[in-house]
Amino acid sequence: FYFEPNAEGRLFAQSTSGQLVYSSDMGQTWDPISVPPAASGRSTAPFAVLNDGQTRLLLATPSGLLIGTPGDEDGELSADITWTKVADFTNVTVIEPSPTQDAVAIGTADGYVHVSTEMQGLDAASWVSSRLREGSVSAIAFHPEDPAQLVVGLATLRTEPTDAVVY
């Protein structure tokens, strides 16, 4: 689940069946969020919450990375979201926004890390990609004092002596 940055008391979570929900009262009540057909009926999918003044959700689907805005100009949340595809990344395992909300990193099952600092539309051309090694990216964290640095963990064992589990 996510505590939404810049929105006191707002939480987002996902059930084991993949349903996204939100709460505006610190979890006392929950409301469902519409998910696109590509994500419905699936088990959990990586998602993240961005808020650099406007709430936006990122959701990984088999067809790519989607972005949706669950609110209006006044910041009121709505369960009905229009989702837009922003990148063709498949097999996404983790989505991590930076603490300062000025970058987002995506990890995949085939060892790639994709990073974008173009936060308005997350345009497909804005992503910088690097394959660390063969294996599934299991965790990404931005360095708290230097968001230009990432710490990345892989879920698969090393196959070569020069491979690392954490980069």
Residue 166 pLDDT exceeds 60: yes
Query: Are the beta carbons of 129 and 114 closer than 8 angstroms?
Result: yes
Give the pLDDT confidence score for residue 137 in this predicted structure.
Answer: 93
Question: What is the rounded average pLDDT of the residues 7-12?
Answer: 82
> How far apart (Å, rounded) are the C-alpha atoms in residues 151 and 121?
25
Query: Are the beta carbons of 89 and 65 closer than 8 angstroms?
Result: yes
Which tops the pLDDT comparison, 11 or 74? 11
Which tops the pLDDT comparison, 123 or 47? 47
Question: What is the rounded average pLDDT of the residues 130-143?
Answer: 91
Mean pLDDT over all residues of the chain?
83
Give the pLDDT confidence score for residue 72 in this predicted structure.
Answer: 58
Query: Are the beta carbons of 13 and 21 closer than 8 angstroms?
Result: yes
Residue 63 pLDDT exceeds 90: no
Question: What is the rounded average pLDDT of the residues 61-69?
Answer: 85
Confidence (pTM): 0.83
The pLDDT tens digits of the residues spanning 35-49 come to: 877 665 566 688 888
Q: List Cβ neighbours of 161 (8 Å cut-off, separation of 6 or more).
A: none
Going by DSSP bridges, is the β-strand pair 150-154/137-142 parallel, antiparallel, or unpaired?
A: antiparallel
Give the pLDDT confidence score for residue 115 in this predicted structure.
Answer: 92
Backbone φ, ψ for residue 75 (5° rounding): 85, 5
Least confident segment among 14-28, 33-47, 110-124: 33-47
| Angle at 20 (CA atoms; ends 50, 36), nearest 5 degrees | 90
